[in-house]
């Protein structure tokens, strides 16, 4: 968007019935998967059991992961679905089935509890949902992480899905995998090396494109954020200040947009409090990846108690990691997922399908 054209945000009209769609906060699972609730939202092509899009996401995740009806993936994903996750991508439904089974083998006590679901769309153009999951479990079986440790874990995952007529056809999963590995007492470096070798064996070498174009030649960063993805003024405000912080390096913005009592839910299950901790966490991230730039891919918001909002973006990396400390292979995580409250003073959550661990 050129600087000569002002960013204009038009009012958003919520789809019919949207105000009746379930909200996850303050509800027990039995309330989120009701037995005798009438359908309150148009869901053309969806199974009759689902009463709205939040019910669909929460209930089908529980049916697949907790009730072990893994075969529901065949009726809830397209055959050629794309699932993007921390270590790469899956490009067909059968791989999603296999990946789900492998994770359940390692963590048979695994529970994925819906913390929040944010959504946009309708049954004509398709739905976009963002599902924040708090996962717990114990590593009791041999599986994709090797010998069982017997230790438990708690982690966060954000799963963004694009859905049409009961089937997910695109999904982005950001899981806090490092939190799980460290809580289990496993050395992450052998896992990272094994993963890298497997990718190299498949002919997927590291792609080094040099500059990521945060700076165009010798020009400074863009003064204005691209707000074309925003649907509301509050969404535009979030995109604007993320641009200020990550692209223009105006970290003083954190002091202006975060509440003094902010609770920051970060990677590795870090729980930080106050503006100073958010500032330090952001400084460490940019200091470790000094060439990073924030590139928003999607933003949506749902009028909820507390006014939650979800952003999906990527930290594009170019050049080499900082020499502030040795760059450990297992520490590199370029994807960023964030959640904020309506006043842009809020919380971040840093990442199998639909909330898999």
Asked if residues 173 and 157 have their Cβ atoms less than 8 Å apart, the reply is yes
323 and 259 within one domain: yes
Give 287's contacts (C-beta < 8 A, 6+ positions apart).
Answer: 322, 324
Q: Is 200 helix (H, G, I), strand (E, B) or coil?
A: helix
47 and 196 within one domain: yes
Residue 38 within a domain:
yes
Burial class (CB in 10 A: 0-12, 13-18, 19+), 58: buried
Residue 336 within a domain:
yes
Provide the domain count of the chain: 2
Q: How does pLDDT run across 39-95, given as a tens digit for each residue?
A: 999 999 999 999 999 999 999 999 999 999 999 999 999 999 999 998 789 999 999
Residue 306 has a pLDDT of 53
Asked if residues 181 and 195 have their Cβ atoms less than 8 Å apart, the reply is no
CATH number, residue 256: 3.10.450.50
Token couple for 108: 């048979």
Residues spanned by the domain of 295: 233-340
**Nearest C-alpha neighbor of 291 from the set 170, 190, 203, 209:** 209
Q: CA separation (Å) from 21 to 39, 201, 326?
A: 9, 47, 48
Residue 228 within a domain:
no
- Domain stops at, among 177, 201, 225: 201
Residue 347 has a pLDDT of 31
Q: How does pLDDT run across 173-224, given as a tens digit for each residue?
A: 999 999 999 999 999 999 889 888 988 888 877 767 777 888 889 999 999 9
Higher pLDDT among residues 2 and 239, named by residue: 239
Residue 187 within a domain:
yes
Residue 143 within a domain:
yes
Model pTM score: 0.83
Angle, helices 93-106 vs 53-65, to 10°: value is: 60
292 and 152 within one domain: no
Could you say which DSSP state residue 10 is in? Answer: P
**Nearest C-alpha neighbor of 143 from the set 183, 201, 99, 92:** 99
179 and 41 within one domain: yes
Residue 199 has a pLDDT of 83
Residue 253 within a domain:
yes
Residue 208 within a domain:
no
């Amino acid at each position: 968007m050129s600087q000569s054209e002002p960013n204009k945000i038009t009012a958003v009209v919520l789809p019919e019935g949207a105000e009746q769609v379930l909200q996850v906060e303050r509800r027990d699972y039995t309330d989120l998967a009701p037995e005798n609730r009438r359908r309150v939202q148009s869901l053309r092509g969806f199974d009759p059991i689902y009463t709205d899009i939040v019910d669909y996401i929460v209930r089908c995740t529980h049916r697949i992961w907790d009730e072990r009806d893994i075969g529901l993936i065949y009726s809830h994903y397209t055959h050629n679905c794309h699932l993007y996750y921390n270590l790469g991508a899956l490009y067909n439904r059968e791989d999603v089935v296999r990946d789900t089974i492998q994770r359940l083998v390692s963590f048979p006590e695994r529970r994925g509890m819906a913390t929040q679901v944010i959504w946009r769309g309708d049954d004509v153009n398709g739905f976009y949902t963002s599902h924040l999951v708090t996962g717990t479990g114990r590593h009791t079986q041999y599986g994709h992480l090797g010998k069982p440790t017997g230790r438990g874990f708690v982690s966060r995952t954000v799963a963004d899905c694009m859905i049409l007529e009961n089937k997910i056809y695109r999904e982005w999963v950001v899981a806090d995998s490092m939190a799980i590995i460290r809580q289990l007492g496993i050395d992450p470096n052998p896992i990272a090396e094994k993963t890298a070798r497997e990718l190299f064996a498949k002919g997927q070498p590291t792609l080094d494109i040099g500059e990521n174009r945060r700076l165009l030649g010798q020009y400074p960063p863009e003064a204005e954020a691209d707000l074309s993805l925003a649907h509301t003024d509050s969404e535009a405000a979030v995109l604007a200040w993320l641009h200020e912080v990550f692209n223009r390096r105006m970290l003083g913005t954190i002091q202006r947009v975060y509440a003094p009592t902010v609770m920051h839910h970060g990677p590795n299950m870090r729980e930080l409090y106050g503006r100073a901790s958010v500032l330090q966490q952001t400084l460490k991230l940019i200091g470790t990846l000094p060439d990073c730039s924030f590139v928003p891919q999607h933003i949506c918001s749902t009028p909820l108690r507390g006014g939650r909002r979800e952003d999906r973006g990527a930290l594009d990396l170019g050049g080499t990691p900082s020499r502030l400390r040795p760059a450990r292979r297992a520490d590199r995580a370029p994807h960023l997922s964030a959640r904020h409250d309506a006043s842009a003073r809020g919380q971040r959550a840093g990442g199998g399908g639909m909330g898999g661990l």
